[in-house]
């Protein structure tokens, strides 16, 4: 085979990994965006409830409503913390996936330059392995986030049933 063709074919594995990481990043950016939107909704609801509570706090006959509002505020506070924990995991996942993309891009570059020196072929191999390991770490973090995905919903459901 032609040396140029061999070089071009050697680029395929990193490109496939970059493409896979790109798809995963897209999915996790969307998940992070949804979490941020949910967090903003929770914060707005909490702000509205605190405002409403301040208005009715002066009236003794509305003590029951005030207690319900305080309870909902507590639930929203806990939901916010749980969503924030998930957001950190998603952020970590994205960082790992993007670092893997950088490793794969550097691997491709090293592969392309490897005819200039044998050390670059070893560097390409090391970068590919590093990228694959970092990608695996990102996937493990994604699994951790997926494992706790339903916890805030379950918590909110249990708290609403308790009232």
- Distance between CA atoms of 20 and 1, rounded to whole angstroms? 28
Domain count, the chain: 1
Summarised one tens digit per residue, pLDDT across range 26-58 is 888 888 888 888 888 988 888 888 888 777 766
Whether 101 contacts 88, CB under 8 Å: no
- Distance between CA atoms of 101 and 81, rounded to whole angstroms? 30
Domain that holds residue 149: 3-162
Residue 156 reports pLDDT greater than 90: no
Among all chains, which residue has been given the structure tokens 């592969």? 111
Would you state the pLDDT for residue 133? Answer: 95
Summarised one tens digit per residue, pLDDT across range 67-126 is 788 888 888 898 889 999 999 999 999 999 999 999 999 988 888 888 888 888 889 889
């Amino acid at each position: 085979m032609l040396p140029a063709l061999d070089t071009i074919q050697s680029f395929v594995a990193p490109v496939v990994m970059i493409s896979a990481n790109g798809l995963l990043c897209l999915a996790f950016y969307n998940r992070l965006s949804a979490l941020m939107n949910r967090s903003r909704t929770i914060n707005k609801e909490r702000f509205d409830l605190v405002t409403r509570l301040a208005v009715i706090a002066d009236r003794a006959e509305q003590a029951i409503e005030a207690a319900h509002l305080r309870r909902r505020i507590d639930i929203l506070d806990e939901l916010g913390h749980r969503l924030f924990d998930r957001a950190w995991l998603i952020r970590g996942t994205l960082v790992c996936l993007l670092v893997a993309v950088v490793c794969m891009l550097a691997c491709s570059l090293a592969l392309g330059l490897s005819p200039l020196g044998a050390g670059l072929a070893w560097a390409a191999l090391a970068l590919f392995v590093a990228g694959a390991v970092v990608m695996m770490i990102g996937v493990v973090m994604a699994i951790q986030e997926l494992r706790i995905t339903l916890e805030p919903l379950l918590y909110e459901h249990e708290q609403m049933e308790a009232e």
